[in-house]
Structure 1
């Protein structure tokens, strides 16, 4: 009887405490700001079904109804979607520190990628050190200038390849050609090896590894929305991620080992890998050999896929709009001449080409939702409460297509940038394809040079004819959603004239 009385007393105390906490939490919830508006979530699954096959477009449509700061419940994951320059500035600049963390995807946990990747690491000592190394040894203006001869050499090979296709009347697959040249440029810059000569198909396997990695990281995953499913891996995404990330890590480990074996017997290379190995040998705690492997993979995969995709979209829009193509060609030929090769110092003298690149990035951003941010704490934005640990998506695709921001937003009009001093360096929130704030893509200075140079090389000395007699207006503009927004149907065209 005494035991029973004690048990009842414990239960009563528990119920009393629970009721007090519940009532206190209810009072707190009533006193704080409301969540941003959003569509009503279904039980358990929330708003998952409303993402569809093209989340960037579905979310843009929803934001027109619920506003530029929108809340969704994706399973158990609180998600806030930002769809205006003003709200993007609040998140990425004014409250940059609060939103500097990343949402850790299940796919990114393969091979502990999230614990080493510059893209997923929390802002702290390791992240700051890697960011500093990238800036000093690869993306600073002096470093980029010192490696420009490598880029010129690879661009010359691209020009020769296009010229050969012209003589043969052979169509060029722009996705393949752009990937080869960016792969060649990145491999030469990182570790002085040309992994993608134009007369070889040797890069196909590597391309598939990179594309598979980008695809698996960009696929909506039920295990991210319902953590209880992580071990089950219902879509097999973690399994696929283990395979493609594992292959890439093995590839870069082989590159590093080959360099270590050859350092004493051959000429010292002046590339990023050599700089990283020197840092590691001086102080292993500053940069381990394992970190080098992950850093190379980050730089390599991000630099090749996004640049190649953007070049293909640029050629797509220029071929769909012959008058824009003609303007770009006339400018380049007038400034450079007929026989010279475009150089990096020429970019500043080509305002229309710069406008074309900006317009392509506006219409077809490589990362339509940027990389997800995460709220470190509860924070009030525009009168609404963003809950701690909420995933924050900046829908830059929606910003680029917003008629309140851009006149005639669905039309490809590079001229809109000729009279506007808008750039993509992270300060003009109408145009943030590389993000903004401390999490902005560190490689944008190199991407800036590569995009202009590759595009200029393709249009400078060549005219183009669509394959199969296709008319310009028939060129497909459908995209395929992922961490990189690829063109659904590859673009092919035949170069028809050489100066």
Structure 2
């Protein structure tokens, strides 16, 4: 028996050695990007520490803006310069339009069939067409304007009620993260299904389902990062790293049951309307049912909308408010712009957004410093190509470090400082210096909706309230962990209603 084990270990060692020599021989014939020395089998996995975008930036500073790594069995190229990013999203856009197949997408994204995880091909192009032309087109967004306006109004009202409870009409201490998450989640859910799922204004019968949905969405966000088994597939058959695969399966089942309930409810509502005749499509589920999509594809699209449109928007508003609290002079400038353009007799609306350049500069600068996706969603090369003069073999994972590009001192003057004026004229800029929503054919289809939600909410917060920090110290801008790079500590601030907005706007809410 002992001899048998010796033989097996010897054979395995020989096999790994031959594979290493084969890989070395192939690599020597190519001009691969530079990178640090790697370990056998695991490659550079031990070098990757949280936060990953900062780790990759430090490696790029040492080895160059086009960096070669090996995550287990998977070759990886990290891009950290605007010129290399431009090559990825222009000349190599189709070659790099694929997504790497990950365990989280297979289990929780309906077999990688969602718009965010599906391989480039007819199915993805069809989903992209549906999203761009039917679900998030200017016409569709105009149709859901009342939903967003009402949700922003509810956010303002909740803060007004909190401020009114302060002694002597002074400032009230408010926690912002939960309120902003309620805002963004409810907007997406109402556009998707017509129902609110957060806050006090929900039906009592939905409260239990809402609570379970909130928990499962939170867990799925936590599990959506890469799994070690994605890079060491041989070990996946033996080890379930920290029970992640089991937790993914359980979370996917719970999510699927809730999402199926939403679809069944909309389907039943459609059948009841007008004696069973077809009704006009009003929600995303209505539209996809009328287009004949399967329930699994619809559920996957709902999950994509929620994951791409809730935490990202909420985090951007939270970062922007944190920056403004540390720079009250810039907040005063934005408020003066709002008073001048919108006035004090109504709440700023979506029609006003393009008339508020100071507000847009603040949002762009917040996105530059704290992009909601510091590493863009991974791409994968479908054939050999070149980036930055280096060879990128077929099957390589491409990571674009947007965080590093947007803080590069070679690209930005005083890159870590908050200077909204530097973003003047960046609208339509194609220099690939600012890419929080990605670029190319797989860029975020919801960028327009995100800008509307963030702009409307931030405008209302600045227009209706006076804000101060909780203490004399600046707001802590430390980053937490997670796909959307949240603040490490939820934002708390002192809030007081502006007297000039009380009678005409706040009292009516």
Q: Is the 8 A contact 1:178 1:311 kept in 2?
A: yes
Q: Among residues 283, 287, 295, which one is paired with 1:271 in the alignment?
A: 283
Give the corresponding residue for 2:220: 213
Q: Distance in 1 between matches of 2:145 and 2:181?
A: 19
| Alpha carbons of structure 1 residues 431 and 112: separation in structure 2 relative to 1, 3 Å | closer
Q: CA RMSD in A?
A: 2.3
Q: TM-score, normalised by structure 2?
A: 0.87
SS of equivalent to 2:55: helix
Q: Distance in 1 between matches of 2:359 and 2:461?
A: 12
Equivalent positions of 1:287-366 (< 5 A) are: 287-366=293-372
Q: Distance in 2 between matches of 1:447 and 1:428?
A: 21
Q: Is the 8 A contact 1:463 1:496 kept in 2?
A: yes
Give the corresponding residue for 1:191: 193
Deviates further, 157-166 or 209-218: 209-218
| Pair 1:41 & 2:46 matched | no
Q: Is the 8 A contact 1:434 1:441 kept in 2?
A: yes
| Alpha carbons of structure 1 residues 460 and 205: separation in structure 2 relative to 1, 3 Å | farther
| Alpha carbons of structure 1 residues 205 and 315: separation in structure 2 relative to 1, 3 Å | farther
| Pair 1:437 & 2:440 matched | yes
Q: Is the 8 A contact 2:100 2:397 kept in 1?
A: yes
Q: Deviations over 1:429-464 (max 9, x none)?
A: 111111111111111111111110011111111012
Q: Distance in 2 between matches of 1:23 and 1:195?
A: 56
Q: Among residues 61, 68, 71, which one is paired with 2:68 in the alignment?
A: 71
Q: TM-score, normalised by structure 1?
A: 0.88
Q: Among residues 84, 91, 95, which one is paired with 1:94 in the alignment?
A: 91
| Pair 1:464 & 2:467 matched | yes
Give the corresponding residue for 1:176: 178
Q: Deviations over 1:438-493 (max 9, x none)?
A: 111111111111110011111111012333xx2252x2111123221111111111
Give the corresponding residue for 1:16: none
Equivalent positions of 1:484-499 (< 5 A) are: 484-498=484-498, 499=501
Give ranges in structure 1 of 5+ residues lacking alignment.
1-18, 281-286
Give the corresponding residue for 1:259: 266
Equivalent positions of 1:405-416 (< 5 A) are: 405-416=411-422
SS of equivalent to 2:272: coil
Give ranges in structure 2 of 5+ residues lacking alignment.
1-17, 167-171, 502-509
Q: Distance in 2 between matches of 1:328 and 1:205?
A: 39
| Alpha carbons of structure 1 residues 22 and 394: separation in structure 2 relative to 1, 3 Å | closer
Give the corresponding residue for 1:52: 49
Give the corresponding residue for 2:4: none
Q: CA deviation at 1:275?
A: 1.2
| Alpha carbons of structure 1 residues 25 and 258: separation in structure 2 relative to 1, 3 Å | closer
Q: Distance in 1 between matches of 2:22 and 2:190?
A: 62
| Pair 1:481 & 2:477 matched | no
SS of equivalent to 1:160: helix
SS of equivalent to 1:80: strand
Q: CA deviation at 1:292?
A: 1.1
Q: Is the 8 A contact 1:463 1:497 kept in 2?
A: yes
**Aligned pairs, number:** 466
Equivalent positions of 1:140-159 (< 5 A) are: 140-159=137-156
SS of equivalent to 2:31: coil
Q: CA deviation at 1:90?
A: 0.7
Q: Is the 8 A contact 1:210 1:305 kept in 2?
A: no
Q: Distance in 1 between matches of 2:428 and 2:174?
A: 31
SS of equivalent to 2:391: strand
SS of equivalent to 1:206: helix
Q: Is the 8 A contact 2:478 2:487 kept in 1?
A: yes
Q: Distance in 2 between matches of 1:25 and 1:226?
A: 16
| Pair 1:421 & 2:422 matched | no
Q: Distance in 1 between matches of 2:473 and 2:138?
A: 39
| Pair 1:402 & 2:404 matched | no
Give the corresponding residue for 2:169: none
